[in-house]
Amino acid sequence: MRSALRWLPGIALLVLLVAGLEWAVNAGMIRRALMPPPSAIGDALWDLLASGDFVEPLFATLRLVFAGFAIGSALGIAAGVAMGWWPAAYRLLEPLVELLRPIPKAALVPALMLFLGIGEAMKITSVALAVFFPVLINTLQGVRGVDRVILDGARTHGWGTAHVLRHLVLPAALPFILAGMRVALGLALVLAVLSEMLSGQGGLGFLILDMQRSFQVRLMYAWLVILAVVGLALNTLFLIAERRALHWQPANRP
């Protein structure tokens, strides 16, 4: 009850904004061709949901996000652990990483299209690339930050390297890894939508662009709302998973 009340002002503001928009459009202050009233967008959204037409594009985009996120995270964690643990791996990969990392991954999509075409492989690769770097950088930082005392404890008890990496370094770096993955999840959605737009097929990104081009502005906004909800849902799910994984942290205890 208390926490519900806490959110009340924020929700009230949201409702107020939507109502204001509705009023402004009806009063002719905003051109309907650019911004239909929210109630009309709501109708379009309802039709999409009721007909089930939203399922296929939604799942197409989600598939991209998940596949690219999983692949990019796995590779990012592996590379981050290797670079953080073995100085030789760090010296080998650091220049390459520093060169590639600053490139906005969106700018690589056209190049990827040359090699991989406009199908799933290109889109998943784009998403995975965007995910890879923030996960790698955070993992690296987490691995380097593992307390020397803990590591020496493992040494004096005779732990082997594999056991240390699996049961000590990974859990110790997990808060960092998860923080990197949370940032990467947002980027994954951006790259999924963008590669759909650029490839001109499949998923929410393509539909948003396509609706705009064919002047079905109401539908464009309806898809946009769905995309917003997807982003919110993904982030919330991730936060829940993160809190579970880090349940041992004092801050996460009731």
Partner 1 sequence: MSFLSLDAINKSFAGVPVMRDATLAVREGEFMAVLGPSGCGKSTLLQIAAGLLPPSAGTVRIAGRAITAPPPEAVYVFQQYTRSLLPWRSVRDNVAFATEHRLGKRRARAIAEETLAQVGLSGFGDHFPWQLSGGMQQRVAIARALAAEPAILLLDEPFSAVDALTRLDLHALFLDIWSRRKLTVMLVTHDVEEAIYLADRIALLTYRPSSISEIFEVGLPRPRDPITTRALPQFLELRQTLLQKLLARPDA
Binding region for partner 1 (CB under 8 A): 147, 149-150, 152-160, 163, 167-168, 171-172, 174, 246, 248-250
Nearer to partner 1, 94 or 152 (CB): 152
Kindly state the smallest distance separating residue 163's Cβ from partner 1, in Å.
Answer: 5
Backbone angles phi, psi at 145, to 5 degrees: -85, 0
Question: At closest approach, how far in Å is the CB of 134 from partner 1?
Answer: 23
Cβ proximity of 195 and 126 under 8 Å: yes
- Quote the least distance from Cβ 24 to partner 1, whole Å: 52
Could you tell me the two tokens for 241? 């998973």
- Rounded to whole angstroms, how far apart are CA atoms 201 and 122? 12
Taking the complex as a whole, the smallest distance from the CB of residue 253 to partner 1 amounts, in Å, to 8
Between residues 145 and 200, which has the closer beta carbon with respect to partner 1?
A: 145
Provide, rounded to whole angstroms, the least separation between the CB of residue 161 and partner 1: 11
Classify residue 200 as left (phi > 0), alpha (psi -120 to 50) or beta. left
Tokens 């996120």 belong to: 69
Nearest partner of 198 among 110, 129, 138, 112, judged by Cα: 110
Please identify, using beta-carbon distances, which residue of 10 and 158 lies nearer to partner 1.
158
Rank residues 27 and 251 by Cβ distance to partner 1 and give the closer one.
251
* Angle of the 55-85 helix axis to the 170-199 helix axis, nearest 10: 140
Cβ nearer to partner 1, comparing 75 with 164: 164
Q: For partner 1, which is the closer residue by CB, 30 or 245? A: 245
Q: Are the C-beta atoms of 177 and 77 separated by less than 8 Å? A: yes
Beta carbons within 8 Å of 180's beta carbon, 6+ residues apart = 76, 134, 135, 136, 137, 138, 139
Alpha carbon distance 20, 38 (integer Å): 10
User: Token pair of 120, please?
Assistant: 């799933």
Tokens standing for residue 68: 């690219």
Smallest distance from partner 1 to CB 251, Å:
11
